[in-house]
Amino acid sequence: MTAATPIVVLASGRGSNFDAIVAAIRADKLNAEICAVISDKADAAVLAKAKAVGIPAIALPVSEKQKSLGLADRRKSYDETLIKAIKVFSPRFLVMAGYMRVASSVLIESFRSVRGYTRIINIHPSLLPSFPGTNSYAQAYAHGAKITGVTVHLVEVDVDSGPICAQEAFSIADCKSAAEVEMRGLEVEHRLYPATLSWLLAERFELETRVQDKIRRLSVRPR
């Protein structure tokens, strides 16, 4: 058995995806070690969950000084502090699980591999590039979409635009509320995220560059 891949989880909220990752590791379905959970929200439920299973849990809220900065400087300054906190644990990958901050290029470049991809992974609750940003399940419901889905992707500077690694679609044609869409989506997330992490963290994938309208994009698929 190869050594477990060390990861740091970044999360801002309740941490149901964190739970799913922990469960997959315990069930030997995911060869990873969560070295720490870091949250920008001091009261995030995910921190208590991490502590309860003996994983270092770090609250790292935006400081008053950072709040006084303009948006770009604030993101950069926060990420510089975050990088210092992360590096203590020497993770190979950062795994975002309901992390509500936009990553700046400082953070992204500090996890760039020599092959060009970033070792930062995110799960997004829609079939990207549809419904980027926040409240994607609610957006899909409000638009009357008949299907939506979940995307696991690598993180790049443009929000929700990095290389797509895995997607799963599901029907919402019969959903009566955004909450119902979310419930269905979370079930998919909790299965798809650990399954995708199992080959992503082992770096068992092929990369291909695709160009359209002069925009170059990396595409990732399992080997």
Q: Applying CB under 6 A, does 123 fall inside the site for ligand GRF?
A: yes
Q: Nearer Cβ to ligand GRF, position 77 or 198? A: 198
Q: Applying CB under 6 A, does 15 fall inside the site for ligand GRF?
A: yes
Partners of 7 in the β-ladder: 34, 93
Q: Applying CB under 6 A, does 91 fall inside the site for ligand GRF?
A: no
**Selection from 110, 103, 94, 153 nearest residue 128 by Cα:** 153
Rounded Cα distance between 96 and 10, Å, is 5
Cα dihedral 111, 116, 118, 122, rounded to 10, equals 180
Shortest Å distance, C-beta 44 to ligand GRF: 8
What are the tokens at 211?
């160009």
Q: Nearer Cβ to ligand GRF, position 22 or 86? A: 22
Q: Applying CB under 6 A, does 17 fall inside the site for ligand GRF?
A: yes
Shortest Å distance, C-beta 124 to ligand GRF: 6
Q: Applying CB under 6 A, does 164 fall inside the site for ligand GRF?
A: no
Structural contact between residues 217 and 210, judged by C-beta atoms closer than 8 angstroms: yes
Residue 124 catalytic? yes
Instruction: Using CB under 6 A, pick the residue from 4, 6, 16, 138 that binds ligand GRF.
Output: 16
Q: Applying CB under 6 A, does 126 fall inside the site for ligand GRF?
A: no
Strand, coil or helix: 215 = strand
CA 134 to chain centre: 13
For binding to ligand GRF (CB under 6 A), which residues are involved? Answer: 11, 13-17, 97-98, 123-125, 189
Catalytic annotation, residues: 124
